[in-house]
Amino acid sequence: MTKTIRKGGEYLLRDTPCEDVFTPEDFSDEQKQIAETTEQFVLNEILPHIDEIDAQNFDLVVKGMRKCGELGLLMIDAPEEFGGLELDKATSMLVAEKIAPAGSFSVAYAAHSGLGTLPLVYYGTAKQKERYLEKIISGEWIAAYSLTEPGAGSDALSGQTSATLSEDGSHYRLTGTKQYTTNGGIADLFIVFAKIDKEHLSAFLVEKNFPGLIVGNEEKKMGIKGSSTTQIILDNCEVPAENLLGEIGKGHKIAFNVLNVGRFKLGACVTGAAKFALLEGVRYANERKQFGKAIGQFGAIQEKIADMTANLFAAESLIYRLAGLLDDRLGTIDRTLDNYYEVYQQGIEEYSPECAIAKVFCSEVLAHVADEVVQIHGGYGFCSEYAAERFYRDERINRIFEGTNEINRMLIPGMILRRSLKGELPLQAEALKAFEALMTPTFEEPDLRPFAAEKTVLSNLKTLFLILAGSAAQKFSTRLTDEQEILLAAADLAIQIFALESAILRAEKNYPTSSERKQRLLMAALKTFCFNATETAGSAARKGAFFIEEGDNLTMLLSGIRRFSKYDASGLLQAKRLLATSALEDEKYLF
Cα(217)–Cα(214) distance, rounded to whole angstroms? 10
Closest CA to 226 of 77, 34, 86, 49: 49
Beta bridge partners of 191: 145, 205
φ, ψ of residue 174 in degrees (nearest 5): -100, 135
Those residues with Cβ within 8 angstroms of residue 327's Cβ, 6 or more apart along the chain or in another chain = 22, 88, 89, 90
Q: Is 402 a catalytic residue?
A: yes
- Tell me the chain's radius of gyration from C-alpha atoms: 24
User: If DSSP codes are grouped into helix, strand and coil, which group holds residue 212?
Assistant: coil
Alpha-carbon distances, residue 412 vs 419, 486, 566 (angstroms) = 11, 12, 25
Residues counted in the chain: 591
Cα(332)–Cα(415) distance, rounded to whole angstroms? 23
Closest CA to 374 of 294, 302, 280: 280
Those residues with Cβ within 8 angstroms of residue 448's Cβ, 6 or more apart along the chain or in another chain = none
Cα(274)–Cα(370) distance, rounded to whole angstroms? 7
CA atoms within 13 A on the CB side of 118: 25
Given the residues 316, 402, 430, 508, the one annotated as active site: 402
Separation of CA 63 from chain center? 27
| CB neighbour class for 59 (10 Å; exposed up to 12, middle 13-18, buried from 19) | exposed
| CB neighbour class for 36 (10 Å; exposed up to 12, middle 13-18, buried from 19) | exposed
Active site residues: 402
